[in-house]
């Protein structure tokens, strides 16, 4: 239970930081891949998108990084399934397997290529 409380507190703190800080400021971390290549990585725009979502600007967030709208719920789902591994081992085996890992990797690579065309 302490782990859940710590996780909730960490997520709330991160949301607060992203809500109050401007992601376009000089203090915000920059994408090293984009700085080195000029191309967007799969996560480029995620900071600005999260900031826009926290301020209720969903369309703006979609414009920054639409993949985020699929990746975050999928990531939360996989984290929950992993957390329930001992309680529901059949569910874990059905969801967390080589096929799923390859499918997620293929989706990320496809998004990476598509957004740089």
Confidence band, pLDDT 50/70/90 cuts, at residue 28:
confident
Per-residue confidence (pLDDT) for residue 102, from 0 to 100: 97
Please write the tens of the pLDDT for every residue from 35-92.
999 999 999 998 889 889 989 999 999 999 999 999 999 999 999 999 999 999 999 9
* Domain extent at residue 59: 2-115
What Cα–Cα distance (Å) separates residue 114 from each residue in 37, 77, 86?
A: 16, 25, 38
Residue 1 confidence (pLDDT): 66
pLDDT tens digits, 3-23: 778 888 888 888 888 788 877
CB atoms near residue 68 (< 10 Å): 19
Name the domain count of the chain: 1
Alpha-carbon torsion, ordered 46, 52, 56, 59, to 10 deg? -80
């Amino acid at each position: 239970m302490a782990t859940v409380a710590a996780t909730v507190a960490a997520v709330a703190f991160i949301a607060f930081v992203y809500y109050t800080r401007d992601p376009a400021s000089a203090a915000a971390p920059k994408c090293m891949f984009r700085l080195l290549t000029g191309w967007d990585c799969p996560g480029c725009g995620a900071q600005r998108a999260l900031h826009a979502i926290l301020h209720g600007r969903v369309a703006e967030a979609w414009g920054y990084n639409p993949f985020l709208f699929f990746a975050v719920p999928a990531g939360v789902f996989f984290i929950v399934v992993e957390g329930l591994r001992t309680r529901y081992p059949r569910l874990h085996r059905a969801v967390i397997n080589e096929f799923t890992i390859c499918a997620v990797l293929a989706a990320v690579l496809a998004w990476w290529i598509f957004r740089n065309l």
